[in-house]
Amino acid sequence: MPAVQYIVEGGRKLSGTIRPSGNKNAALPIVAAALISESTVHLDNVPHIRDIETLIELLHSVGAVVEWTGQNSLRIEAHDIVASDLDANLCAKIRASILLAAPLLARCGEIRLPPPGGDVIGRRRLDTHFLALEQLGAKLTPEGGLLKMTVNKFRGADVFLDEPSVTATENALVAAATAQGRTILRNAASEPHVQDLGMFLQAMGAEIHGLGTNSITIEGGRPLGKSEVSHTIGPDHIEVGSFIGLAAVTKSELRIQDAGIEHLRSTRMGFERLGIVCEVEGDDLIVPAKQTLRIQSDLGDHVPKLEDQPWPAFPADTMSIAIVTATQCEGMIMMHEKMFESRLFFVDKLIGMGAKIVLCDPHRAIVAGPSKLRGAVLDSPDIRAGMALLIAALCAEGKSIINNVGQIERGYERIDDRLRALGANVERVADRRK
């Protein structure tokens, strides 16, 4: 696909209603898990983004028939799945390729898995996936740069995950649903997208208890996917966080429609620490325009800290957005990104735009504000930092050029169109750099 840029004229006030796309991190494991069904699977509210398209190509490569039946609707038919070496080039484009391990093992008994790709935000270990799948009966053998995985049949087990990894929990959840006997997943991730995958598996016939907690029990041995299944992906709470930050820094009132209010407590609390209070109206979240963006000091007037932690605490994927938002707030705050040691390196681009940020180490940054940002030429390093830079450009004075926007479009569907509908001046053009 040809490279593209965004040309952004900042400083405009926005207004209107925006609806979050379906949760990317739910759609990816659910599309992969559709392979365990021999019947037709219908999925709605699927984000039409690059990562999903790449995963669909991988499904095609193993014999599945996947068709877009609407802008955000998929039909998946996996009647005849063949075990094969997955395409290494496709796997290198997305980390979600690892999510094919459990469903393909369940269907074929053997796969060869190339290294997955994804955002370059620090080391993202895969050990938890393999330790969990081994406890459920899989055998792993390195083979010429690939990982050969085999299983006769998954069997239930009491599995303790050595970290609450989202994708490892999802792989283990799919494997356990196809296993014989009871599985207990302890120290499991509990994010909304893990819950969404669990509800999809329940719609296929799985018996699962404890979704949304750190101990999930799966009663294996149930027939799965013997009839057609329909499922609707829930809203993306990371997109909602992005739009809260966008409204705040552009001093705009935005209505976020069908926001998934039940999953926004930690996100709203995090932004309230920056002085941004949202209103709930039915299923919608409203970010008022007239707010005093003042960072809330800790008791004793100490410098506060905003840190990400496993769900239900403040989401790691919203931290980049929160950092940009903090540059427009009065006061000082320590931002602590605990999970990925390279995610904060994008702040040098914000500093170049005029932000007052001290990067203490790979995990911590001190932000003082408000800062008057100015337009700049920027490169999107990953999905979330790319969106954060786009938000910074929209509140900056003057013109910005954002390169490598394919990273943003891996996770945000038609974001330029949706922002223009709010009044933003964002132009998507071919990248003509030599």
How do residues 365-417 score in pLDDT, each as one tens digit?
999 989 999 999 999 988 999 999 999 999 999 999 999 998 899 889 999 99
Q: Which of the four pLDDT bands, split at 50, 70 and 90, describes residue 147?
A: confident
pLDDT in tens, 233-286: 999 999 999 999 999 999 999 999 999 999 999 999 999 999 999 999 999 999
pTM: 0.93
Cis check: omega of the bond before 312, within 30 degrees of 0: yes
Query: How far apart, in whole angstroms, are the C-alpha atoms of residue 56 and residue 90?
Result: 10
* Residue 226 burial (CB count, 10 A): 12
Spatial contact of 373 and 383, defined as CB atoms under 8 Å apart: no
Q: What was the pLDDT predicted at 117?
A: 66
Tokens 């394919």, located at residue:
406
Tokens 């599945």, located at residue:
64
Catalytic one of 51, 119, 236, 382: 119
Spatial contact of 22 and 45, defined as CB atoms under 8 Å apart: yes
Average pLDDT of the residues in 305-313: 94
Concerning whether 119 is annotated as a catalytic residue, the answer is yes
Q: Is the pLDDT of residue 68 over 80?
A: yes
Spatial contact of 127 and 107, defined as CB atoms under 8 Å apart: no
Domains along the sequence of the chain with CATH? 4-21+235-430 (3.65.10.10), 24-232 (3.65.10.10)
Chain CA centroid to CA 215, Å: 22
